[in-house]
Structure 1
Amino acid sequence: MHITKSHLTGLVLSASTATAASLFDKRVTVSWGPIAGLQASTSEIIATTSTIYPGKMPSDQKGFMFAWIGLGNGTGDLIQSIIGSYPAGQSECSGSDADTTWCISSEVYGLDDTGATVQFVGDKRTADVNYENGIFFNYTLIDKSTYLWEQTMTDALTGELLSTYQKKSGPMTLWNTAVELQPNGDEEPTGTIEPQYYVNSTIYLDAADAAYGDGLYTEYGAITSDMTTSDGGKTWFIEKITVPAMDNSTSSSSDSAVVAAVSSSSSAVVSAAPSTSAAAVPSVYSASSAAPVPTEGSNPWGHSGQNQGPPSGRFGAW
């Protein structure tokens, strides 16, 4: 869940690392695009990595649209680095490209020290004009004794840091991708206009959960390859997740550029799991071959207020 500027009832700055947007009792209207996720693991998640190829951003966004991978546990924080599309003048990013390209930010939706529900937003954010390179997610439990989590988003081709954030957030057992949609007042959002791909998604567990892959699910048209493990259930791998375009009338031939970017990268499956005390995720990451771009004209939007999302009816922290 991401709380936008139009929904803020207060705004405070933490000491140095993030902006915290106070929600208080105000509810946010949210609907969902295609989702892929997993039922809770029996072991804690200690890291996850993936590369997203987000496709072209809607050109005249009136509402808010966010693509993200979330880690949660059902009661506490939701860790979520975001690829965001905002109305003009409302982006989390700044600069001349803020209104014309995806805004990359690392965030946590959860509780502050007073118990208030807030959206923490890392100071490092980037309007990413090179999104066709792919964007590499890395969430790592860097200190298990304090449950300090670090998020980074980097350019998958150059390694340039696009966003980062650290926060103590507790143990995590839930994982999902999402396309989140919010109106801007009376203006409705535009969803994805081209397919999005998550490539080489890897989830590292503290201990083996041999049945974890049985909990893989999809909603609203998302498509996944099989989930596999090569070490008895500590490290799990999904070669590709496809998020079909939600507005096929505006999709374009640049789909082929996304497929080419995925296909041209070498395939790599990381076999070494990170340690349980500090989940140092291997730096080796790359995309694997892509399946054909979906051609069926589905428009799988979820509706707000109807327990949309995973079978548990909630993402991570809400």
Structure 2
Amino acid sequence: MRSAYAVVPLALALRAAATTKDSWAFGNGFYSGPSTNAHITKATWSLVPPTVPQGVEVQDSSDQVWVSLWIGLQHTDGDYNSYLYQPLLNWSPDQESQGCPASAKEWCVAASTYTPSGQNGQAYVTIPPGTQVDFEVTVENNKVYQTVTMDGKVVSKETDDLDAELLYLYSGDECYTGSGNCGTLEAYSWNNITVHLSAEDEKFGETLYLYKGSNSSGFTTSDGGKTWHAESINIEQDSWTGA
């Protein structure tokens, strides 16, 4: 496990560079991969969403601010020609503008995939405050299956083609500044993260990079390196000022 204070996955850097100045910002997070001799076949994780961002400013109602929190899986560490399988949480001060049925004090969630031709995603579902959300991404027969669960009930599912073997797993605190700013996001944790590989790799745990503003005790394995588990990756309070 290594802390990375200046390293950002190319996917985030490319997206930011392709937009107008200050449109997008990416805050605290982590990434892991690639394995030396295997690919990811399954990943699961959970979180209880933090309080929605505070102190958000919007100057033009037609250009709304929004914030997304996600863990995604991808063949590369950033390529607009590569699928990014990223079930995500989303919030905006104007939820209706984002297709989210929640109140301004709640998050929405949906299974979602970035593709070179656009975003594939399901309808947003409201997350009641304090509710744990569980995520599963599984690869089978050249398909990628996403499942989002709350209180034991599946609330969102997405199936997409597998464009290439999945080598990277990484997170994003993603802020679209729109006509204002994204305020401050309180600290939260990605919990119970488990990564299943296609073959044993005793060094996969060493690929975990933590950005400044993130901390974890890291990944461990109990089966020789085929399955890796992290109790939590903690994301500190974020205001995107260093992004």
- Tell me the TM-score normalized by structure 1: 0.62
1:1-318 superposed matches below 5 A: 27=19, 29-42=23-36, 43-58=38-53, 61=56, 62=58, 63-74=65-76, 75=79, 76-88=82-94, 89-94=96-101, 97-111=102-116, 116=117, 118-123=118-123, 125-130=124-129, 132-141=130-139, 143-144=140-141, 147-155=142-150, 158-170=151-163, 171-184=165-178, 186-192=179-185, 194-246=186-238, 301-303=241-243
The answer to whether the Cα contact below 8 Å between 2:112 and 2:158 also exists between their aligned partners in 1 is yes
Unaligned runs of 5+ in 1: 3-22, 248-299, 304-318
Secondary structure in structure 2 of the residue aligned to 1:228: coil
> How big is the shift at 1:106?
1.0
Question: Which residue is equivalent to 1:264?
Answer: none
Unaligned runs of 5+ in 2: 1-10, 59-64
Whose strand fraction is larger, Structure 1's or Structure 2's?
2
Secondary structure in structure 2 of the residue aligned to 1:139: strand
Question: Which residue is equivalent to 2:4?
Answer: none
Question: Which residue is equivalent to 2:6?
Answer: none
AA of the residue aligned to 1:222: S
CA distance in 1, matches of 2:148, 2:228: 20
AA of the residue aligned to 1:137: F
Deviation sequence 1:186-229 (CA, Å, 0-9, x none): 2122241x211111100000111111111111113111122100
The answer to whether the Cα contact below 8 Å between 1:220 and 1:301 also exists between their aligned partners in 2 is no
> How big is the shift at 1:239?
0.8
The answer to whether the Cα contact below 8 Å between 1:92 and 1:103 also exists between their aligned partners in 2 is no
CA distance in 1, matches of 2:54, 2:215: 25
Secondary structure in structure 2 of the residue aligned to 1:203: strand
Question: Against the structure 1 CA distance between its residues 87 and 237, is the aligned structure 2 distance closer, same or farther, given a 3 Å change threshold?
Answer: same
> How big is the shift at 1:41?
1.7
The answer to whether the Cα contact below 8 Å between 1:59 and 1:100 also exists between their aligned partners in 2 is no
Q: Share of identical aligned residues, percent?
A: 23
Aligned length, in residue pairs: 213
Question: Against the structure 1 CA distance between its residues 163 and 98, is the aligned structure 2 distance closer, same or farther, given a 3 Å change threshold?
Answer: farther
- Tell me the TM-score normalized by structure 2: 0.80
CA distance in 1, matches of 2:184, 2:75: 27
Question: Against the structure 1 CA distance between its residues 167 and 224, is the aligned structure 2 distance closer, same or farther, given a 3 Å change threshold?
Answer: same
The answer to whether the Cα contact below 8 Å between 1:212 and 1:233 also exists between their aligned partners in 2 is yes
The answer to whether the Cα contact below 8 Å between 1:106 and 1:122 also exists between their aligned partners in 2 is yes
The answer to whether the Cα contact below 8 Å between 1:54 and 1:134 also exists between their aligned partners in 2 is yes
CA distance in 2, matches of 1:73, 1:302: 27
AA of the residue aligned to 1:79: Y
CA distance in 2, matches of 1:121, 1:148: 15
Question: Which residue is equivalent to 2:3?
Answer: none
Q: Which has the higher contact order (CA 8 A, sep 6+)?
A: 2
CA distance in 2, matches of 1:36, 1:107: 19
Question: Against the structure 1 CA distance between its residues 220 and 181, is the aligned structure 2 distance closer, same or farther, given a 3 Å change threshold?
Answer: farther
Question: Against the structure 1 CA distance between its residues 245 and 53, is the aligned structure 2 distance closer, same or farther, given a 3 Å change threshold?
Answer: same
CA distance in 1, matches of 2:89, 2:110: 7
Secondary structure in structure 1 of the residue aligned to 2:206: helix
CA distance in 1, matches of 2:40, 2:218: 19
AA of the residue aligned to 1:105: A
Answer with 1 or 2: which has the greater Rg.
Answer: 1
